[in-house]
Amino acid sequence: MLANYGYKDGSGEYFITIDTEKCNGCGACIEPCPEHCFQIGSDENDPLRDEPVAAVVPGQRQKLKYLCMPCKPAGRAVNKLPCEEACTPGAISHSWYHVLQR
Ligand code: SF4
Ligand code: SF4
């Protein structure tokens, strides 16, 4: 399933989506994120799942617009975000970009 973490406000929608079908719980997204946005643990959306899965740290979910801003500099093209780059299964996506990357 697609697990969405974030919020929307008057300026836009700021969600990180984890595709839990693709996520294998490897933890490779944790170290490259300068804002410690990811954690690995049991699936809060699927109590029957035994395998660990990534989620956005609860305390960071309401601050993503600001936390991710240094990775998404306005006016400068970014090929891939550090978290996306680290996730070889391609489980991480963001709902917003200051500069369109794709
Ligand atoms: S790097 Fe990707 S596959 Fe690994 S735990 Fe993070 S989201 Fe899941
Ligand atoms: S964009 Fe940067 S700060 Fe935001 S989750 Fe990815 S690595 Fe972390």
| Domain CATH code at residue 21 | 3.30.70
Q: Does residue 88 lie within any of the structural domains?
A: yes
pTM over 0.85: yes
Q: Does residue 38 lie within any of the structural domains?
A: yes
* Bridge partners of residue 94, in order along the sequence: 16
Q: Does residue 100 lie within any of the structural domains?
A: no
CA of 74 to the centre of ligand 2 (A): 15
User: What's the total number of domains in the chain?
Assistant: 1
Q: Does residue 30 lie within any of the structural domains?
A: yes
CA of 12 to the centre of ligand 1 (A): 26
> In degrees rounded to 5, what are phi and psi of residue 10?
-65, -20
* Bridge partners of residue 92, in order along the sequence: 18
Question: What pLDDT does residue 72 have?
Answer: 85
Give the whole-angstrom CA distance, residue 94 versus residue 35.
Answer: 15
Q: Does residue 99 lie within any of the structural domains?
A: no
Q: Does residue 13 lie within any of the structural domains?
A: yes
Q: Which domain holds residue 19?
A: 2-94
Question: What pLDDT does residue 97 have?
Answer: 75
Q: Does residue 56 lie within any of the structural domains?
A: yes
- Please give the torsion angle defined by the CA atoms of residues 47, 49, 82 and 7, in that order, rounded to the nearest 10 degrees: -30
Query: Pocket residues for ligand 1 (CB within 6 Å)?
Result: 18, 23-29, 40, 54, 86-87, 89, 91-92
Asked whether the predicted pLDDT for residue 14 surpasses 90, the reply is yes
**Ligand 2 atom closest to 32 (CA):** 7
Mean pLDDT of the chain: 91
Span 23-42, pLDDT tens digits: 999 999 999 999 999 999 99
Q: Does residue 18 lie within any of the structural domains?
A: yes
Q: By alpha-carbon position, which residue is closest to atom 2 of ligand 1?
A: 87
Question: What pLDDT does residue 43 have?
Answer: 94
